[in-house]
Structure 1
């Protein structure tokens, strides 16, 4: 993207804590206008997604909001959930333009970039010992979104295969849903029923204890 000539000398900028930022001073010192807002569809980057996908969303925001590039640099750092960690990993004053910013961002988070996996990878996602069904369902759904070309029936069978909770396996195997959405709905109904039953049993135990204490 085109950059305006720098009105300030190239140099380093130290924030109030004394640490050197990765931006040159004419970027860091640029006065930000009031009322800046990040579009909700951009969200924030936590280091777990594809950095290229996030850059695509952010560049769309630059165009839609008509941000000057000086402003865009600062808005970009605000989208990072751990911007301090990322900034400290960069050499002070090393970011001179948007191409520098993109290159360093990609390099830092390149290990998080999505890789194409075959459908066989779905059978390696298994419920861990001590992991709740709710947590496993969330993790399984997130992980399988990264497997390109995964068929619905493979996703369904992979989830059932990865479960350690035998009661749920038996429950799902009876009239097994034909869609993954249906499978998740049936799973969460089972989870909520178990939670209600568990809470009810705890309440009964508490009531019996209170009755026994009062009688004694």
Structure 2
């Protein structure tokens, strides 16, 4: 039993984990909060259960006493137990699958693409290529991108913004 350091009479507020979301993200969140307070090892182990609810809390209560010797071991056991809740990384194939629908606005298409794009490791050139490939055939914007030979992601988004404003005006 290790006493809590002064200033931790009121434990830090930690994000809650119930066993249904990515365990790696939870460990990272807890670690960030505790590292900020300069807390290490056994103190982290003592505070970690405060972040657990529902199924995750049940897992913690069912651990055999003395089965965890370090923060690293706790993280390993925790992430191994909840491994099926891990979020699978998005790939370039995830981006390639995003195409502008027949009635979809340019704004919605770009928003959908960007939402996935932030999770994919790809160069801006690759993202630009996939954005262009996913544009609906025969639109004025697709034609403009081809004629102007847009070369950067920033240039694509600048041009897209002009067309989005135009689309918005047409709705009114």
Q: Normalization by structure 1: what TM-score? A: 0.51
Alignment map for 1:1-216 (pairs within 5 Å): 4=1, 33=10, 36-37=12-13, 47=21, 51-52=23-24, 55-66=27-38, 68-69=43-44, 70-74=46-50, 76-77=51-52, 87-88=54-55, 91=58, 93-94=61-62, 98-99=74-75, 100-105=77-82, 107-110=83-86, 112-114=87-89, 117=91, 122-148=95-121, 150-164=122-136, 166-199=139-172
Query: CA distance change for structure 1 residues 155 and 184 in 2, over 3 Å: closer, same or farther?
Result: same
Q: Which runs of 5+ in 1 are unaligned?
A: 6-30, 78-82, 200-216
Distance 2:93 2:27 in 1: 30
Give the CA deviation at 1:172. Answer: 2.4
Q: Which runs of 5+ in 2 are unaligned?
A: 3-7, 69-73
Give the CA deviation at 1:129. Answer: 4.6
Please give the per-residue CA displacement for 1:131-172, whole angstroms capped at 9, x wherever unaligned.
432232122123334443x34333212112112262221232
Distance 2:158 2:49 in 1: 42
Larger C-alpha radius of gyration, 1 or 2? Answer: 1
Give the CA deviation at 1:60. Answer: 2.9
SS at 2:148's partner residue? coil
Distance 2:23 2:147 in 1: 41
SS at 1:60's partner residue? helix
Instruction: Judge conservation of contact 1:95–1:101 (CA < 8 Å) in 2.
Output: no
Instruction: Judge conservation of contact 1:127–1:162 (CA < 8 Å) in 2.
Output: yes
Distance 2:102 2:56 in 1: 35
